[in-house]
Structure formats: C-alpha cells, structure tokens
Amino acid sequence: MRIAGINLAKGKRIEVALTGIYGIGRQLSRALLTDLKIDLDKKVEALSEADEQKIRDAVSKFAIEGDLKREVTGNIKRLQEIGSYRGFRHRRHLPVRGQRTKTNARTKRGRRVTMGSGKIKATKT
C-alpha cells in the first residue's frame, strides 16, 4: 500500500504502519482510523481497496512529508533571520528549549574527544 509516496510495511498493523509517514504519529494515526471506522489491529495487506482510498483521502488533508519538512525548515530560518534567541541556538547547534549543556546534550552537540587524563607520561631511562 502506498500513501503520499511512502510504501507502508505490509506485515505491520495499520495503526503502526501509518507512523512511517513523516508527520503522522501514533496519536494521529489512531484518531484517523477511529474516525474512518477501520480496525486498528488490521494488517496493511488485509485492507480493502475502499479502506485504502479512505485512508489516502484522510491523510491528504494534513501537511505531511515534503510540505511539512519545508514548513519546519522555513520556521527555523525565520527564527534565525529575525535574530531570536531560539534562532541563535539553532544556528550554533545547541539545545533550543532550555536544556542544560554542561553535561548531556550529546545528540545535539556531538561526541566530544577528550585530550587525556592530564598526567605526564613517564619517560624511559
């Protein structure tokens, strides 16, 4: 099954498979399927053509994939251009939402290489 240019995994439940689309999480997936009266436990390969079309129509109403990514990057660029604090943090690749940086923040800042323990190596005589 293909939705918004993404192939959904056939062996997964439809509720989980929809989360493979950028911009659709577990909560939105569950809400969509309950509104469409489609069983959450149904596998992707077991869906009928009518159900597939209902899901495609419902998903097309949301900003997903490329449109959403462009919107997010545009928002970040706007913050950087106006010189806001959040834009500055984005530009410096630092955490934006007030987290501490003395320790932690490794995913955002990257792994740091230490210079050693500081001890001077003993020379052989």
pLDDT band at 125 (very low <50, low <70, confident <90, very high): low
pTM of the model as a whole: 0.71
Assigned CATH for 65-109: 4.10.910.10
Q: Where are the domains of the chain?
A: 2-59, 65-109
H or E element that contains 78? helix 65-81
Domains 2-59 and 65-109 agree in fold: no
Q: In CATH terms, is domain 2-59 a member of 3.40.50.2300?
A: no
- Residue 13 phi, psi dihedral angles, 5° rounding: -70, 150
CB atoms within 10 A of CB 43: 14
pLDDT at 1: 81
> What are the tens digits of pLDDT across the range 4-37?
888 888 889 999 999 999 999 999 999 999 999 9
> What are the tens digits of pLDDT across the range 38-94?
999 999 888 889 999 999 999 999 998 889 999 999 999 999 999 999 999 999 999
Residue 42 · residue 48 · CB < 8 Å = no
Residue 99 · residue 57 · CB < 8 Å = no
